[in-house]
Amino acid sequence: METSQGLTISGVSYQRFSPPERLRDVVDHVWLVESAPLPRLRQEILIPNGRPGLAVALGEPGTRHDPVTQVEWPNAASVFGVMTRPQVLGQVGTSSYAGVEFTPWGLASFGLTALVDEVQPLGDWVGADAVAGLVTELRAVPFGAERAERLAGFLAVRLTTTVAPPVVVEAVRAIDELRGQVAVAEVVRRCGTSYSTLYRLFRRSVGIGPKQYAEIIRYYHFVGGLLGGPADAAATLSALHGYYDQAHAARDFKRYTGVSATTFLAVQNGIAALMHGRSVQDDSTHGG
């Protein structure tokens, strides 16, 4: 399996792999992450990026926390939908995970519902025995391409014949290419359809409408600029395209990160920066 990125930052190792051909339309990439044992709780803020995902703990399971609803899930083996609000990961002890990032419509191709802002135990989908077998299989091979291949194979045999409508794929591509800085009317024009048709098919395939998806992508890239940009968050906010006053931009930033821009900069750390490296930033043939 081809490695598309490998990084080590602050003791956290991260590798990302392109999916096999059979999964190209429904899986954006397979990822692996691990770090040395953590003696104390570490928390990471994950912002919405428009993609569902799957994660399997091979070390000590951490937690996923929704700061809006205060719901907390064990980060053991789970599948989750597109997030419209942030989640906070908590981890202590040995941290080792294998996972995938699906295309926005990917869950439907495995017979799953959209799971927007929800986390479902993987066992509820494939059964507890299958999960236990997967964990054993992944632990038996080293951190690297073979582990990623095993996880991809686990998913490949569960792929259904459901495919995303071409209009949804094209709409996602249009929004991603412009990093969310596009009006839905322009997306509708590019797709050669009506708004009602696009909304209906997009929501059925992705779980949210195209306008909300564009908002998520826009702020995902905005936060990416903060992660790698100047320390002066106010200057970055004031430069945000499409906004005429800094207060408005700041409010919207908080909507999609759950914290102020300055607070986000203060707490940025390993996984939040590593995981921002791809997703919707790189070009792909399937709009992911």
Number of domains in the chain: 2
Using a 10 angstrom Cβ sphere, with 0-12 exposed, 13-18 middle and 19 or more buried, the burial of residue 231 is exposed
Asked if 223 and 133 sit in the same domain, the reply is no
Asked if 128 and 174 sit in the same domain, the reply is no
Asked if 137 and 25 sit in the same domain, the reply is yes
Asked if 17 and 141 sit in the same domain, the reply is yes
Task: Please report the pLDDT score of residue 67 as a whole number.
Answer: 75
Answer whether residue 62 shows pLDDT above 60. Answer: yes
Rounded (5°) CA angle 221-84-80: 105
| Average pLDDT value for the chain | 83
pLDDT per residue as tens digits for the range 225-259:
665 554 444 444 444 444 434 555 666 666 666 56
- Tell me whether residue 286 is in a domain: no
- Tell me whether residue 282 is in a domain: no
- Tell me which of 156, 180, 207 is where a domain ends: 156
Higher pLDDT, 9 or 220: 220
Question: Of 65-79, 85-99, 242-256, 262-276, which range is least confident?
Answer: 262-276
Helical ranges in the chain per DSSP H? 122-126, 128-139, 145-156, 166-177, 184-191, 195-206, 210-228, 233-238, 246-257, 261-267, 270-275
CA 276 to chain centre: 9
Segments forming the whole domain that contains residue 237: 166-275
- Tell me whether residue 147 is in a domain: yes
d(CA 220, CA 259): 14
Asked if 140 and 11 sit in the same domain, the reply is yes
CATH number at residue 248: 1.10.10.60
Residues facing 77 on adjacent strands: 56
- Tell me whether residue 200 is in a domain: yes
- Tell me which of 128, 156, 184 is where a domain ends: 156
Task: Please report the pLDDT score of residue 117 as a whole number.
Answer: 93
What tokens were used for 47?
């912002």
d(CA 103, CA 53): 9
pLDDT per residue as tens digits for the range 92-102:
999 999 999 99
Task: Please report the pLDDT score of residue 46 as a whole number.
Answer: 83
Asked if 132 and 26 sit in the same domain, the reply is yes
- Tell me whether residue 280 is in a domain: no
Indicate left, alpha or beta for 111 from its phi (over 0: left) and psi (-120 to 50: alpha). Answer: left
pLDDT per residue as tens digits for the range 165-223:
999 999 999 999 999 989 999 999 999 999 999 999 999 999 999 999 998 998 888 77
Higher pLDDT, 282 or 11: 11
Task: Write down the pTM of the prediction.
Answer: 0.82
Asked if 16 and 149 sit in the same domain, the reply is yes
Using a 10 angstrom Cβ sphere, with 0-12 exposed, 13-18 middle and 19 or more buried, the burial of residue 2 is exposed
Asked if 7 and 65 sit in the same domain, the reply is yes
d(CA 153, CA 30): 11
Helix, coil or strand: residue 121: strand
d(CA 52, CA 216): 13
Higher pLDDT, 243 or 36: 36
Answer whether residue 286 shows pLDDT above 80. Answer: no
Asked if 92 and 233 sit in the same domain, the reply is no
Asked if 110 and 196 sit in the same domain, the reply is no
Asked if 196 and 95 sit in the same domain, the reply is no
CATH number at residue 33: 2.60.120.10
In this structure, the strands spanning 27-46 and 53-57 are unpaired
- Tell me which of 156, 184, 207 is where a domain ends: 156
Asked if 30 and 90 sit in the same domain, the reply is yes
- Per-residue confidence band for 273, with pLDDT thresholds at 50, 70 and 90: very low
